[in-house]
Amino acid sequence: MGMMCVKGRDPPRMEQLLSFPAPASSWRVPLPLQIVLGLIALLAIAVPVALVMTTPRVVIAKRPHVVISKRVVPKTELPAVEPVELQQVAPDDAKSVNGSIPFSTLPNPAARAFRLTGSGESQARAVDCLAAAVFYEAGDDAIGQRAVAQVVINRVRHPAFPKTICGVVFQGQERSTGCQFSFTCDGAMVRWAPRPAAWERARDVARLALTGSVYAAVGHATHYHTDWVVPYWSASLEKITEVHTHLFFRWAGWWGTPPAFRGGYTGAEPNIPKMARLSSAHFGDPNAPLLPGEAMPVGSDGVIVDPATIPASAVPPPMTVESGGTAEGNNFMLTLPKGMSADAFAALAIRTCGERNYCKFMAWADPKQTPSKLPLTGAQVSTMSFSYLRDQSQGFAKALWNCAQFKRPSPVQCMRAQPPVTPPAVAPAVEAKLPTPLTGVRRKGDLTVPVTAPPTGKPQVTLTMPVAKPTPRPTPTAPPR
């Protein structure tokens, strides 16, 4: 049905039709309630802001990537001794990483006792180098010092490291970072020195370690570090023990077992100028920098040459039995490589002798004077340029230079001077003249020799001595009955 339209008026809109009638009076919120609602709104905003501003800030940082190596070096490959490099890990994270590496469950046998050999000067150098290592690495703590000393000695015996105490301690000293013992390249020896009493205690620990004392707890450990750092090699080695805040490691596999620690000690400690401030056995400028690969004067005795750096092509074959060698191949006789520094002669000898318990190494600088077989003549011995003898059964190892050819800083490194060899003088032949025999004297030997008188025309006269007659003995007579 349609809607009616009134003439003169508009039709109503939809809003008008649907609208409700307005109340008689408009609705208003009471003022007290408005105040309460405003306070609630302000608190709803202020409380979260206050919590955000006053609550300690917690930063969840992503742990940096840590390189984990599990490679075990095979017996046929000598382990590499690389510069020490730390992973970029915060101290707290480092403790967590180190704690995640379990201790080895394999046996941890004690190392063999070590007894120092060599000249008095060489032994004094070894004691002071080891004393410096134990003091700067472990402070004035006797237990920590003994642990550090044992690691140094273990390295001397391992074929991957130098064969002297000073050589092990100051390996990599020419680097600004990455040396094997950080105090040798971080300037610690320049910044401060131990007090006299502490230095003597460190020397006492060193003497004990070098005269047979063994710190059994660290076994055959060759590496260690504090628990707030993570070296790149830590996970590739076996963690065997903990001493205070230091963790001790050995190589995994065969290279960490007792048979691997059969290297020979040279018995000739090098001079370390950096030690001159602490030790009278060392000399030189302790502040003089050493550059990598720096060429030193021949015979300076200031360079530590690692035997592992000697190329295999420089290692001579052993002497044959026909030339005077032994069936075990323990004797070597050679001409020294041209241009080799005198400081490298000992390293060449050690590299050549390898792991032999007994080894004799003889070398000449002049190929024209190098003999071809044994035994040597006096002239050949006097022209010898270098010799090295090792006898592990006697605890002996000695390197000697011909100081007439290569100057050395100490006479204890010199061969004994050989007297010049001259052919013996031949005395001229002298005709022996016998004395004229006396006549008229009869000798004992003349009784059996008939004497013939020269013919004189006179009859021969024979003189006869009267023979003494025996005196008759009286015959005893029986007494009368």
- We report the CATH number of the domain holding residue 130 as 1.10.10.2520
Same-domain status, 264 and 371: no
User: Which residue, 377, 396, 413, sits at the end of a domain?
Assistant: 413
1 belongs to a structural domain = no
Helix, strand, coil percentages (3-state) for the chain, rounded to 5, are: 30, 10, 60
Of 259, 277, 295, the position where a domain reaches its end is 277
- Pair 133, 241 in one domain: yes
Residue 17, Cβ neighbours under 10 Å: how many? 8
Q: Identify whether 120 is part of a domain.
A: yes
How is residue 52 written in tokens?
């955000």
Distance, CA of 264 to CA of 266 (rounded, Å): 6
- Is 46 contained in some domain? no
Assess if residue 3 is contained within a domain.
no
Task: Determine the 3-state secondary structure of 67 from DSSP.
Answer: coil
**Does residue 425 form part of some domain?**
no
Residue 202's domain spans which residues?
91-277
Residues 183, 141 share a domain:
yes
In-domain check, residue 451:
no
Co-location of 154 and 197 in the same domain? yes
Same domain, 258 and 368: no
Residue at 282 is within a domain: no
- Residues 264, 353 within the same domain: no
**E strand or H helix at 242:** strand 237-243
225 and 326 co-located in one domain: no
Kindly state whether residues 136 and 204 are assigned to the same domain: yes
My answer on whether 215 and 341 are in the same domain is no
Residues 110 and 158 in one domain: yes
Residue with tokens 């035997």: 307
Helices (H), 247-398: 345-353, 378-382
Shared domain for 255 and 122, answered yes or no, is yes
In a domain, 112, yes or no: yes
Give residue for tokens 């105490």: 165
Same-domain pairing of 323 and 250: no
Joined tokens for residue 258: 């007792």
> For 246, phi and psi rounded to 5 degrees?
-105, 140
Crossing angle of the two packed helices 120-138 and 196-210, in degrees rounded to 10: 120
CA 277 to CA 256: how far, in whole Å? 36
Tens of pLDDT, residue by residue over 278-304, are 999 998 877 665 544 333 333 344 455
Residues of the chain predicted below pLDDT 70: 1-27, 57-70, 287-306, 392, 394-395, 409-410, 419-481
Beta strand residue intervals within 244-375, DSSP E: 246-251, 331-335, 358-364
Q: How many structural domains does the chain have? A: 2
Last residue in a domain, options 413, 439, 470: 413
Do 383 and 364 meet the contact criterion of CB atoms below 8 Å apart?
Answer: yes
pTM of the shown model: 0.57
Q: What separation, in Å, do the N-terminal and C-terminal C-alpha atoms of the chain show?
A: 219
Q: Tell me what pLDDT residue 464 has.
A: 45
User: Which amino acid is located at 363 in the chain?
Assistant: A
Q: What is the CA radius of gyration of the chain?
A: 49
